[in-house]
């Protein structure tokens, strides 16, 4: 099990991006959450098997039809203390 911190930049708020991420996370058995950030980006915590996280990143780079993804940054999450608390992929408001 791995955990990634992902930031997605571009026109990604107000276009259903978090719901798009949740749909694909559930399909790939990824847990965590997506949250809109004040700077206009979307922050994602993704927890899952390495091969599924790679597929998830590829999907996130495309985004839903109305999104314009300019950049996706990610890093391995070193703080694994609370990842067992996530049972699904949530959308934070």
- The CATH number given to 2-79 is 3.30.70.100
Does 12 have pLDDT greater than 90? yes
Instruction: Supply 67's token pair.
Output: 């999104």
Name the DSSP class of 66: T
Q: What is the pLDDT of residues 62-86, one digit of tens each?
A: 999 999 999 999 999 987 777 888 8
Catalytic-labelled residue, pool 18, 27, 82, 85: 18
How many Å apart are CA 89 and CA 83, to the nearest integer?
12
The distance from CA 38 to its chain's CA centroid, rounded to whole angstroms, is 16
Q: Let me know: does 60 contact 27? Beta carbons within 8 Å.
A: no
Q: In terms of pTM, does the model score above 0.75?
A: yes
27, 36, 82, 85: which is the annotated catalytic residue? 36
Is 18 a residue of the active site? yes
- What is the structure's pLDDT at 81? 76
């Amino acid at each position: 099990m791995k955990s990634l911190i992902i930031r997605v930049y571009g026109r990604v708020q107000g276009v259903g991006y978090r719901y798009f991420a949740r749909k694909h996370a559930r399909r790939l058995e990824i847990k965590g959450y997506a949250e809109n950030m004040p700077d206009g980006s979307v922050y994602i915590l993704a927890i899952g098997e390495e091969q599924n996280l790679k597929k998830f990143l590829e999907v996130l780079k495309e985004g839903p039809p109305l999104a314009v993804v300019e950049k996706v940054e990610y890093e391995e999450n070193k703080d694994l203390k609370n990842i067992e608390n996530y049972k699904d992929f949530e959308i934070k408001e």
